[in-house]
Amino acid sequence: MLQQYLEKGFGLKEDLNCAEQILYGANHAYDLGLDPKSLHLAGGFGGGMAVEDACGIVTGAVMVFSAIYIDERARATPELKPVIAEFVGRFKKELGTLNCKELKANHCKEPDYCRPLIIKGAEILDQILKEQGKIQ
């Protein structure tokens, strides 16, 4: 779902960063119902929180899981931590790290730059949500 949405070009003409592409794209693909102001929260997480640290794809995915799983608050959502851990584990297994600077050095090449990584993150997100019965 999200993977296909991104493969069709979502986020490119909108000039969205990696975290925004994941959250905004998921909002459309999964019909999360997030308002535009809430979507802006992803902005500062792109580019590894703007300092090439924690990958924006991962932080964007955590926001998606939070939007899907949390009804009231995170501490009252026992399934949240395991599903995030599953995503992080798969992402690290596939790509070797969660660090933006390392990911860029090892995987991001012109002209697509981080786009293949964003699509891979979306694929992992889709897989987990399907396995969990959250999407079809």
| pLDDT tens for each residue of the chain, 136 residues long | 999 999 999 999 999 999 999 999 999 999 999 999 999 999 999 999 999 999 999 999 999 999 999 999 999 999 999 999 999 999 999 999 999 999 999 999 988 899 999 999 999 999 999 999 999 8
Q: Average per-residue pLDDT in the chain?
A: 97
pLDDT digits (tens, 9 = 90+) for 61-81: 999 999 999 999 999 999 999
Helices and strands: H and E segment counts in the chain: 8, 0
Query: How far is the first Cα of the chain from the last one, in angstroms, to the nearest whole number?
Result: 9
**DSSP assignment letter at 48:** I
Residue 101 one-letter amino acid: K
Question: Residue 62 region, left (φ>0) first, then alpha (ψ -120 to 50), else beta?
Answer: alpha
Q: Give residue limits of the domains in the chain.
A: 2-131
